[in-house]
Amino acid sequence: MSLALTAYRLLTRMLEPLAPRLLDARAKQGKEDPRRVDERLGVAGAARPPGDLVWLHGVSVGETLSLLPVVERFKKSRPDLTVLVTSGTVTSAELLAQRLPPGVIHQFAPVDAPGAVAAFLDHWRPALGVFVESELWPNLIVAAKARGVPLALVSARITEKTAEGWARFPGAARTVISAFDRILPQDIVSADRI
């Protein structure tokens, strides 16, 4: 693991005890669902059904809505499969509550801190993880990969600003990007940046 990723992991581990207070403050501002804030700490809000589970992750409304056809496809081709969709915003959760088919589970994504990520992965034990667009949380991605979860980044979009940020930490960028078994870029510009 690169020095930058090691430092990031240590920093997020040290700051993790502050996460509950930060999340409570965000809930008071309407930026978190106060009834489900524990999900952001990796505490599951639902039981994990037996069998294989595929995990689809998008951050906000656009990304999560783009997952709906993928959810439908999984449900039709593999009705025995449990589908878990994670997102990071209250608005996306509200829309998904209205639009997800019966039996599909929604959870808020854990904050990118080692304890929350470990609790999330320990509970859900995904057989596959699919991330949409540019949601690259290092602890979550590296921990899932370390557990042997095959990962895909679909409709990958990397802005110039994001690419410049990652370019300052090439070892970290290489580790995070190489954790994905499959990357499907949105366009040629994103493909070149990746």
Which are the catalytic amino acids?
63
- Helices 170-178/160-167 angle, 10° precision: 110
What distance in Å separates the CA atoms of residue 60 and residue 86, rounded to the nearest whole number?
10
> Left, alpha or beta for 40 (phi > 0: left; psi -120 to 50: alpha)?
alpha
Q: What Cα–Cα distance (Å) separates residue 156 from each residue in 5, 31, 147, 149, 172?
A: 21, 25, 23, 19, 18
Q: What Cα–Cα distance (Å) separates residue 15 from each residue in 19, 82, 123, 131, 135?
A: 7, 33, 23, 25, 21
What distance in Å separates the CA atoms of residue 42 and residue 122, rounded to the nearest whole number?
9
